[in-house]
Structure 1
Amino acid sequence: MTERLFQDDSYLKTTTATVVSAGPEGVVLDRTVFYARGGGQPGDTGVLRWPGGEMVVADAIKGEGAAILHVPAPDAALPPAGSVVEATIDWDRRHRLMRMHTTLHLLCSLIKGAAVTGGSVGADKSRLDFDLPNPPPKEEIEAALNALIAADHPVRIEWVDESVLDTDPGLVRTMSVQPPRGSGRLRLMRIGQGDGQGDGLVDLQPCGGTHVARTGEIGPMRVQKIENKGRQNRRITIVPG
């Protein structure tokens, strides 16, 4: 098992860790700050360093069980099993992904009552697809999105019992991806102060990704386009403003 330090603190940039195994498919550490690709968010890139060597990490993906594979760049040296390494992410790229991922949650909160049929987080461009025949005008969405960003709402991670999905299935907006079950715990991402719509809560959804601490950290965003991707499927693409 790889301890996922990013799940409780998205701002950790580096950590020391012990190499559990190393091969061309990837390096497994006992703990890591590298987010493993999933939920529409790319895996982190960065570097592993140890006395006498370093390995550029080209991607981070999920391995067997609860392991995370730190995928080496082509022809990169591998750290010896059992050695201690310093694992450091490309922070600039991660922070751009954090800003984008939180923005997609804000966008989701604005398109009420429509299920999310797909999505992708990118450092320079991101999108959400909605089961929605008639989306609001692009300018209206963009103005509302930037108002939520400028309001500097707090963003926090909470862990709850996974049974909440049975009592409140409406927490899940995505049609194609369901939160993993079986661990007994569910990770929620909350934007806003309140506990319910209308009392300061902006968004509350299961999410395993990394996020900023406040919406004001995101900066201006622009709705680049709204596309028809099917009879009732509308794709909204956002880019930094």
Structure 2
Amino acid sequence: MTEPLFRADAYTREAKAQVIALTEEGGIVLDRSIFYPTGGGQPGDSGWLDWDGLRMPLATAIKGRDDSIVLVPAEPVALLPLGAHVMQVLDWDRRHRHMRLHTALHLLTAVIPYPVTGGQITASHGRLDFDMPDMTQDRAAIETALNDYVARDVRVSDGWITAQELDANPDLVRTMAVQPPRGAGKIRLVRVGDADDPIDLQPCGGTHVARTGEIGALRLGRIEKKGRQNRRIYLHLES
């Protein structure tokens, strides 16, 4: 099991760790990780491992067995020895763009109140697919509403509920394609805005900015028809 340091503080850029396992495919498992593993439409983090004056570039992080996080080297190199002590260094610029876009997509689900059938985040843009037969909202109005939420600079926070509490509040789940993980007995909720009247509240395991003002200006991209009842909407950071 890998302790997910990014869950407690998404702004941690460096942290010490120890190698506890090596996979047959050449992956590295640490006892604690600042690297978010691919999941929920958000890419795995990249960065570096430093030890004994050496540096290993990491291409991504993925989920392994038993709640482990597997770090994937960017190039074939000799693996670290078991038990080695390393310094993790996050590719912060890339991660921070993921955080900004992930929070922005939560705002998009607040502006467009339809079930989400899929989504993806990259360092340049994000997109969501909505179970929406007709595009009734004006794109200029959507973009204005998104940037108004950004300008309000509200707090983004998280909390935990049980699976039973989620079952009692099924409307919290906005994503039809991916159900919240229930194996740990508790489910993480991400809240945008005040606790009493949030802009958005839904289960999510991804990394987010601390306040919406950190997202920066947003630009609505293409709106595509994907099948009879699906609309794909792209969202871009202006800088």
TM-score range, shorter chain: over 0.9
SS in 2 for 1:144: helix
CA distance in structure 2 between the partners assigned to 1:140 and 1:76 by the alignment: 51
Letter in structure 1 aligned against 2:144: A
Letter in structure 2 aligned against 1:159: W
- After TM superposition, the structure 1 stretch with the greater mean CA deviation from structure 2, 155-164 or 60-69, is 155-164
In structure 1, what is the equivalent of residue 131 of structure 2? 131
CA distance in structure 2 between the partners assigned to 1:163 and 1:87 by the alignment: 37
Letter in structure 2 aligned against 1:230: G
- Structure 1's consecutive aligned runs of 4 or more residues displaced over 4 angstroms after TM superposition are none
CA distance in structure 1 between the partners assigned to 2:55 and 2:210 by the alignment: 31
Please show how residues 1-241 of structure 1 align to structure 2 within 5 Å.
1-23=1-23, 24-112=25-113, 114-135=114-135, 136-195=137-196, 199=197, 201-241=198-238
Letter in structure 1 aligned against 2:67: A
- Report sequence identity in percent: 54
SS in 2 for 1:166: helix
CA distance in structure 1 between the partners assigned to 2:206 and 2:200 by the alignment: 15
* TM-score normalised by structure 1 residue count: 0.95
1:185 CA drift (Å): 1.1
CA distance in structure 1 between the partners assigned to 2:8 and 2:158 by the alignment: 7
- On the 8 A contact 2:26/2:79 being kept in 1, the answer is no
- On the 8 A contact 1:58/1:73 being kept in 2, the answer is yes
CA distance in structure 2 between the partners assigned to 1:45 and 1:77 by the alignment: 18
- On the 8 A contact 1:130/1:235 being kept in 2, the answer is yes
- On the 8 A contact 2:29/2:71 being kept in 1, the answer is yes
CA distance in structure 2 between the partners assigned to 1:77 and 1:147 by the alignment: 50
CA distance in structure 1 between the partners assigned to 2:81 and 2:40 by the alignment: 31
- On the 8 A contact 1:138/1:225 being kept in 2, the answer is no
Letter in structure 2 aligned against 1:116: V
Question: RMSD value over aligned CA atoms?
Answer: 1.1
CA distance in structure 1 between the partners assigned to 2:210 and 2:177 by the alignment: 27
Number of residue equivalences = 236
CA distance in structure 2 between the partners assigned to 1:32 and 1:171 by the alignment: 28
1:67 CA drift (Å): 0.7
CA distance in structure 1 between the partners assigned to 2:188 and 2:26 by the alignment: 28
Letter in structure 1 aligned against 2:61: A
1:149 CA drift (Å): 0.6
